[in-house]
């Protein structure tokens, strides 16, 4: 089945130690997104790629970076994680940015900071 | 800018009964899409159903149906014959057609607990 796959499912890192979360898709969608979701809140968009074009949300901290080396893969890099970065990180894809296109999400990576 | 409002933080429903989750929205976009997602406690976000703003008929997808009232700007989700596996957080979301409205705007969510 075509899908969005996130690895790992759970990630533990130390305060200030860089961490990378990965996402891959077999849907061949043009757009890939990264969301941060804290407990009992709605997901918050960090950034998205339309093909190779990177679009950062205005309020995304500089600590968060992303890479999309090819259509299938997208990475979220947190350069110096702080305790406030502990959250669920969701990757999503969509065919394009049209209003009728749903976003398809992966299972998420739950990040803990020690 | 778009705004989604879900006024029910939590709901209880008896197994096999129907439940309606409220969603109202505000937008100046002439065309937009409305979506419902389910998020179980395990965390994955599952796409349930889509309604286009120009669709004449209400969307249905298995046990899920969307009660779309455009004039009232509401897009309520109806889950029929509730099952224990329906216990989850449900998010209403929308996406506009204007170039700056590509983002999926989410409501605060409604937690549904199905009782046996």
**Torsion sign (Cα): B53, B56, B61, B66:** positive
Residue-wise burial string across A24-37, b where 16 or more C-beta atoms lie within 10 A, e elsewhere: bbeeebbbbbbbbb
A64 within 8 A of A80, measured Cβ to Cβ: no
| Percentage of chain A modeled with pLDDT above 70 | 98
Residue contact A108–B97, C-beta within 8 A: no
**Identity of the residue in B33, B43, B106 whose CB atom sits nearest the CB atom of A108:** B43
Element (H, E) at B112: strand B110-115
In a structure prediction context, what are the per-residue pLDDT tens digits for chain A, which is 114 residues long? 669 999 999 999 999 999 999 999 999 999 999 999 999 899 999 999 999 999 999 999 999 999 999 999 999 999 999 999 999 999 999 999 888 889 999 999 999 999
pLDDT tens per residue, range B24-82: 999 988 899 999 999 999 999 999 999 999 998 999 999 999 999 999 999 999 999 99
Chain B: closest CA distance from residue A107 (Å):
4
Size of interface A-B (CB pairs under 8 A): 57
Note whether A67 and A74 are within 8 A (CB): yes
Cα of B101 to nearest chain A Cα, Å: 9
Nearest-neighbour CA in chain A from B2: distance (Å): 12
Question: For position A97, what pLDDT does the model report?
Answer: 87
- For residue range B97-110, what is the model confidence (pLDDT) as tens digits? 876 667 899 999 99
Closest CA to A99 of B51, B6, B72: B51
Q: Which two tokens stand for residue B71?
A: 């004039």
Structure tokens belonging to residue B24: 């109202």
């Amino acid at each position: 089945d075509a899908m969005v796959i996130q690895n790992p499912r759970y990630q533990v890192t130390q305060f200030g130690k860089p961490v990378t979360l990965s996402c891959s898709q077999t849907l061949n969608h043009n757009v890939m997104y990264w969301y941060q979701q804290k407990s009992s809140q709605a997901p918050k968009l960090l950034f998205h790629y339309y093909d190779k074009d990177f679009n950062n949300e205005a309020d995304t901290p500089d600590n968060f970076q992303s890479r999309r080396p090819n259509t299938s893969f997208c990475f979220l890099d947190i350069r110096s994680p702080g305790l406030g970065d502990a959250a669920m990180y969701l990757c999503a894809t969509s065919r394009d940015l049209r209003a009728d296109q749903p976003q398809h999400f992966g299972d998420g990576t739950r990040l803990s900071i020690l | 800018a778009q705004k989604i409002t879900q006024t029910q933080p939590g709901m209880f429903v008896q197994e096999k009964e129907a439940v309606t989750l409220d969603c109202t929205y505000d937008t100046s976009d002439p065309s937009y899409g409305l979506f419902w997602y389910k998020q179980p406690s395990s965390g994955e976000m599952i796409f349930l159903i889509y309604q286009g703003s120009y669709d004449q008929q209400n969307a249905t997808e298995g046990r899920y149906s969307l009660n779309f009232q455009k004039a009232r700007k509401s897009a309520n989700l109806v889950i029929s014959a509730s099952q224990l596996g329906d216990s989850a957080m449900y998010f209403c979301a929308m996406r506009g057609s204007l170039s700056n409205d590509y983002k999926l705007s989410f409501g605060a969510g409604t937690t549904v607990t199905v009782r046996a």
